[in-house]
Amino acid sequence: MSETAARPTSAARAPVRRWWSGLFWKCLLSMLIASWISTGLLAMLGLYLTRIEVRDNMAPPMLESRMRRELRQIGPMPGLARLPRSQCEAVLQALVVRIVGMDTPNWMSKYSFAGGTHNRRIAIRYRDRDGGGCQYPAQPSPPLAQALEEAEHEAGATHAVAPRRNERDGDWVSVVALPLSDTPGATLSMGQHSGGSMATFMRADSGDLEGLVIYLMVISAMSAVAVATLLTRRIRHAENAADAWAAGDLVARIHDPGRDEFGRLSQRFDRMADALSEVIQVRQALAVSEERNRLARDLHDTAKQRSFALGLQLSVLDHLHERDGGDGRDPRQGALIKAALGLTGQLQRDLADVIQRFSAPTVAEQGLRKALEDTFSHLLGGSEIEWRLLLDGVAERGLSEFPQHAGQLLLIATEAAANSLRHSGARRIEVVLNNSGNRYGWTIQDDGCGFMISDHETTGMGLANMRLRARTLPGGRFRIASSSSGTVVTVSFTLEPTQGVSA
């Protein structure tokens, strides 16, 4: 064989398994991606709904109502413009916390994403008639600072409340400028700038990003371990069974009891292996039958014809010897010719018997009953032996699913009947098939003179062959009993009903 032909092809090589191609890592990556996407979508949905709620709570009418409520509780506002800048900012800081409710659990846990004074999204400003005053924080966001300026100018010109709301591409600014009645010409304005939806989302997650990443990694790894462990164990069983099938061992099964999709798939593969095993056994039986028929034809056309020709020649020689009267010949020649004729006749009968056995019909071709009828008709024809087949219908239908086992029973019955024909002088032979549940019984009984079993255990091949054939059956047991009233051969075995592959 050349070096090129001896080298295995790429298709025959086992695939190289990388650690990252394992089911666990695929599950981990898939679950991590799914967790990120689902968490992001849920977070965005929650933020969108809460954003709408904050938008309603910070609308100019609601903001004006809360500002008036706090001013009533504080009383007359002092001249904040005359205070030092730090003191003015401290008063405004306390006021904005009270108005917005930043110190409440609802705001801290639910509305914190909306921003506050720390990121210049909420601002409050005090202005007197001379333009002096202060604001907190010192530098609001540009859209909020511009809205506060416009609202203050309008309130100062009209001496009335100036609500203002600007919206653009999901970004909104809500501002209220409120004239102070106890300080003529002074205004107190306050507002909120929400920012865009993406900015809101990034503000919500930026503080907890590390914790969120760790949480998603841990929960994804735990889920991947649970899923991959359950699946890989079952897949490993399926791989072992598939490797056994590829090696020719069709007895191996996955045996997955799960009721899910993978369990049902494994059970279908098991049933497919059962069906494939039966098909192979039937094909083997057909191949054996073809080989037996070929051997029978070859023996018939060669050895049998030559033995017949030899018998004719010996008959002619015997006739010539008798015609010449044996004058001048050795007297032992006649005896030798007679003995040779006897051996030739026995050889012809043996060849005929072998050819008949080889050419017997098989169960796979005709079924057990028809094969028995044809075999016994040829074997016992002209012998004046009566034979009967007592095959229970239920047992016969159950056995029809296993033609390879039925073929063994046929050969056992043929051997038993041939022994009865040659040695027992029987006048009647019965073959009985019955069953009780999945346990089957096969009996061949004759009424011959019987024989001593111990005399044939070691010298005869017939009993040994029947015993070996019985042991090839599942749970097979062989028993023979013989007496002067006849011989009984009994074979018992177990058959489990097969199930076809579901569509």
pLDDT score at 442: 95
The mean pLDDT of the chain is 77
Average pLDDT over residues 154-179: 82
CA dihedral 417, 419, 423, 426 (to 10 degrees): -20
| Per-residue model confidence (pLDDT) at position 8 | 40
Lowest mean pLDDT among 279-288, 334-343, 431-440: 334-343
In tens, the pLDDT along 227-246 reads: 777 777 888 888 888 888 88
Backbone angles phi, psi at 178, to 5 degrees: -120, 115
Model confidence at 5, pLDDT cuts 50, 70, 90, reads: very low
DSSP state of 13: S
Stretch 497-502: mean pLDDT: 50
The class (CATH top level) of 58-206 is: alpha beta
Between 360 and 307, residue with greater pLDDT: 307
Residue 97 confidence (pLDDT): 83
Answer yes or no: are the C-beta atoms of 307 and 351 closer than 8 Å: yes
Percentage of the chain lying above the pLDDT 90 cut:
10
User: In the chain, pLDDT over 70 holds for what percent of residues?
Assistant: 74
205 near 212, Cβ under 8 Å?
Answer: yes
Q: What are phi and psi of 285, to 5 degrees?
A: -65, -40
Distance separating alpha carbons of residues 421 and 410, to the nearest angstrom:
16
Q: Where are the alpha helices (DSSP H) in 7-141?
A: 23-57, 60-74, 85-100, 105-110
Mean pLDDT for 188-199 is: 74
246 or 211, which is more confident: 246
Mean pLDDT of 74-81: 75
Question: Which pLDDT tens digit goes with each residue over 421-479?
Answer: 878 888 999 999 999 989 999 999 999 888 877 665 544 557 888 888 899 899 999 99
Better-scored residue on pLDDT, 453 or 500:
453
pLDDT the model gives residue 200: 55
Is the pLDDT at 13 greater than 60? The verdict is: no
The 486-494 sheet, strands edge to edge: 386-391, 428-436, 439-446, 486-494, 477-483
Q: Which residues pair with 440 in a beta bridge?
A: 435, 493
Query: Token pair of 355, please?
Result: 């050819």
pLDDT reading at 367 higher than 70: yes
* Cα 40 to chain centroid, rounded: 33
Q: Which residue has the higher pLDDT, 480 or 212?
A: 480
| Mean pLDDT value of segment 69-86 | 80
Is residue 404 scored above 50 in pLDDT? yes
Q: How confident is the model at residue 407 (pLDDT cuts 50, 70, 90)?
A: confident
Stronger pLDDT, 466 or 50, i.e. the higher one: 466
138 token code pair:
């010192």
pLDDT at 42 over 90: no
- Residue 303, amino acid: A
Q: Which residues pair with 79 in a beta bridge?
A: none
More confident residue, 205 or 62: 62
pLDDT value at position 3?
Answer: 41
Buried b (16+ CB within 10 A) or exposed e, 228-247: beeeeebbebbeebeeebee
CATH number of the domain located at residue range(s) 366-498 in this protein = 3.30.565.10
Considering 251-255, 285-289, 471-475, the range whose residues carry the highest mean pLDDT is: 471-475
Mean pLDDT of 251-270: 84
Assign 3-class secondary structure to 341-400: HHHHHHHHHHHHHHHHHHCCCCHHHHCHHHHHHHHHHHHHCCCCCEEEEEECHHHHHHHC
> Across residues 262-283, what is the average pLDDT?
83
pLDDT band at 48 (very low <50, low <70, confident <90, very high): confident
Residue 117 predicted with pLDDT over 50: yes
* Res 139: pLDDT: 86
Amino acid 197: pLDDT: 53
| Predicted local confidence at residue 207, as pLDDT | 47
Alpha carbons 221 and 27: distance in angstroms, whole number: 9
Contacts of 458 (CB under 8 A, 6+ apart): none
Please, which residues bridge with residue 162 across strands? 177
Of 114, 111, 100, nearest in space to 202 by CA: 114
> Does 483 score more than 70 pLDDT?
yes
Between residues 399 and 34, which one has the greater pLDDT? 399
DSSP string for residues in 109-171:
HHSGGG--GGGTSEEEEEE-TTS-EEEESSS--HHHHHHHHHHHHHHHHHSS-EEEEEEETTE
- For 479: left if phi > 0, alpha if psi spans -120 to 50, otherwise beta; the answer is beta
Identity at 149, one-letter amino acid code:
E
- If pLDDT is split at 50, 70 and 90, which confidence band does 88 have? confident
Rounded to whole angstroms, the Cα distance separating 300 from 351 reads 8
219 confidence band (pLDDT: 50, 70, 90): confident
User: How is the chain split into domains, by residue range?
Assistant: 58-206, 366-498
pLDDT-derived band at 387, boundaries 50, 70, 90 = very high
**Which residue carries 């022994």 as its tokens?**
419
> Whose structure tokens read 């700038």?
193
447, amino acid identity: D
pLDDT for residue 205 is more than 50: no
